[in-house]
Amino acid sequence: MNTLKRFIKFLKPYQKLLFFVMFVLFLEISFELSTPLIQKIIIDDVISQGDYNQLITLLIILAILYALKQLANYIQNYYRHVLGGRFILDLRVRMYAYLQKLSLSYFEKISTGELMSRVTNDVNALENFVTHGAAFLVIDFFRLTGAVVILLLLNWQLALLVFIPIPFIAVSLRVFNNKIRPVYRNIRARLGDINSKLQDNLSGIRVIQIFRQEEKELKFFSEESEKYFNAQVKAIKLWSAFFPAMGFLSSVSTILVLGVGSWMVMQKQLSLGGLVAFISYMVYLFAPINRLIDIDNVFQDAIASGERIFEVLDQETTIKDAEFAKPLQDIQGKIEFDHVTFSYQTNETVLQDVSFVINPGETVALIGPSGAGKSSIANLLCRFYDPDTGQIKIDNQNLQDTHLSDIRSQIAIVLQDTFLFNSTIRENLTYGNPNVSDEIMIEAAKTAYAHDFIMNFSDQYTTEIGERGIKLSGGQKQRLALARAILMNPRIIILDEATSSVDAEAEFLIQQALDAVLKDRSALVIAHRLSTIRNADKIIAIDQGKIVEIGNHDTLIKMDGLYKKLVEKQLSYTTIK
């Protein structure tokens, strides 16, 4: 029940509206429960006495009660759905905001599709309960309580007969809950698997098609869908058997009351109007019980979804501001790695005792074989992760003692696999600085050698570029990424294999752009191509997580070490002028 308690706490900001809805619900049920008593008076007193005036008065009262009930129903229905919609809106936004704060290590453990399922499908399950299940729970609680009290007042002997099945229903419901809850959790997990597979396949549709793996992926997706279906069938089997059984238990009371009540009427121990009213109130008793069983089905689904939601909200953010973090402003751009050792969650050491300095305005290139730890250095500098030991400093200030927002406001990164949003060129360019003027934006595009190809589009800077910039070439994407980085006006720039996936012409234009972008900025360049790194102020060669060489191009060539071997290997495949 811990999930339910936390869930209720989430409703605290809406308690005023919640109490108002409950008050209106109470009024609605009060109007509803009054009508059988008036019907009893009409049958027992008015009809037998032939009092037409009293009949008209009571019919008018009935009409007023019915009208008030429907008015209350309208008010509570409107505000109940507004309350549910607002709660779910805030919860979904809260989940998204929390996801943005989580460390990259969390996203390495869970798929995007699974997270999407929790933010959409699981939140929707809660919406169903808040908007409908919880409201009917309150309505039926009032209705059930009122019916019990009135049944006891009408005839306590018959009331005892009505209550006979209730303990059996309560015990059965508890057993049912224990069986159905893990089933619903499994359904939610299977739905997450489907979303994960779907997201993965749609993102890689070009790869699937070029390798002709449509049938294979269809088979995998069908298998995941079949698992989801089988989990649903298991739940259907449970509640399909349970609900009719509970309905039969309810009908036993009706049979007992009809039999005993009819005998009491014939024995003049109960009036006919009293029996009719009693049976009407039995409907108010057992209809809520049967509906509560249905609601419990929705409730168990919501609890399963709530557990999955809280699993996300309970994740600890490992990368966050220290309690006494200091601001990092007006930096010069000095970067220092001081005896840094780092490993990912696999506990396999990626960097070991790494130390180097990048002075303000200096360009330092990292080279080494794949898996040597180059990208890990970039990730640490952006503080996507923290080192196991050692310190990383900017302007002699430890990053772990600095505000994250200050660090990342001073760093721009251009990756090999450039990520662009499914929006316009302008929106992508100004993503890190949305208030920039068109003049400055265009100047940045010109600096990155992107303006000319942008102007060739019919919509120019308002051109929609598709998901991940699918309408652009690799070189065009990279130049947009460079222009985006320029518009951030960072003191530090990171280039991670920024030219490795483009052709020679695009590389030439990007290299021209880089000369302008890197001017007066501290730069960390990760690259394999000699053309990208040979003019760096300093080159650091890394192998198996350790720095093995530091120097400029000419110095490292003379050392006849790892750098020279990598250069010679590259020259054996291409001619560099």
Quick check: 152 pLDDT over 60?
Answer: yes
Quick check: 574 pLDDT over 60?
Answer: no
pTM higher than 0.85, yes or no?
no
Mean pLDDT score of the chain: 79
Nearest alpha carbon to residue 461 among 484, 432, 489, 485? 484
280 in Cβ contact with 158 (< 8 Å): no
**Token duo for residue 325:** 């973090």
- pLDDT, one tens digit per residue, over 320-372 is 887 788 887 778 888 999 999 998 876 788 899 989 999 988 889 888 887 78
Separation of alpha carbons 106 and 453, rounded Å? 39
Mean pLDDT of 26-48: 76
197 in Cβ contact with 166 (< 8 Å): no
Which pLDDT band, with edges at 50, 70 and 90, does 5 fall under? confident
- pLDDT, one tens digit per residue, over 385-400 is 889 899 999 888 888 8
Distance (Å) of CA 470 to CA 203, 466, 506: 11, 5, 17
Quick check: 264 pLDDT over 50?
Answer: yes
**Token duo for residue 167:** 């303990």
Quick check: 468 pLDDT over 70?
Answer: yes
Distance (Å) of CA 229 to CA 22, 217, 236, 552: 37, 18, 10, 62
Task: Please tell me which residue, 561 or 497, carries the higher pLDDT value.
Answer: 561
**Ordered DSSP codes for 318-354:** SS---TT-B---S----EEEEEEEEE-TT--EEEEEE
Nearest alpha carbon to residue 376 among 105, 99, 563? 105
Quick check: 529 pLDDT over 70?
Answer: no
Separation of alpha carbons 399 and 327, rounded Å? 10
Instruction: Specify the pLDDT at position 338.
Output: 92
- pLDDT, one tens digit per residue, over 91-147 is 888 888 888 788 777 777 777 777 777 887 788 777 777 776 666 677 777 777 777
Structural domains of the chain, with CATH: 2-313 (1.20.1560.10), 325-410+522-577 (3.40.50.300)
- pLDDT, one tens digit per residue, over 425-447 is 888 888 878 888 888 888 888 88
Range list of β-strands (E), 149-307 = none
Instruction: Specify the pLDDT at position 206.
Output: 61
Place of tokens 């079949």: 226
Separation of alpha carbons 418 and 474, rounded Å? 8
**What type of residue sits at position 262?**
S
**What type of residue sits at position 263?**
W
Separation of alpha carbons 352 and 377, rounded Å? 11
Which pLDDT band, with edges at 50, 70 and 90, does 316 fall under? confident
- CA–CA–CA angle 495, 497, 499 (5° rounding): 95
Separation of alpha carbons 266 and 309, rounded Å? 59
118 in Cβ contact with 308 (< 8 Å): yes
- pLDDT, one tens digit per residue, over 184-242 is 778 877 877 777 777 777 766 666 766 677 787 788 888 888 888 888 888 888 877 77
Q: What are phi and psi of 355, to 5 degrees?
A: -135, 130
Separation of CA 3 from chain center = 18
- Residue 560 CB coordination number (10 Å): 9
Which pLDDT band, with edges at 50, 70 and 90, does 290 fall under? low
Mean pLDDT of 53-82: 84
Give every CB contact of residue 54 below 8 A, 6+ residues apart in sequence. 45, 46
- pLDDT, one tens digit per residue, over 472-494 is 877 788 888 888 888 888 888 88
Place of tokens 């990279």: 478
Instruction: Specify the pLDDT at position 207.
Output: 61
Give every CB contact of residue 443 below 8 A, 6+ residues apart in sequence. none
Quick check: 577 pLDDT over 50?
Answer: no
Reading across the β-sheet that carries 349-358, which strands appear in turn?
349-358, 335-343, 389-394, 397-398
**Token duo for residue 142:** 């009032």
Separation of CA 108 from chain center = 15
**Token duo for residue 489:** 């006006």
Quick check: 576 pLDDT over 60?
Answer: no
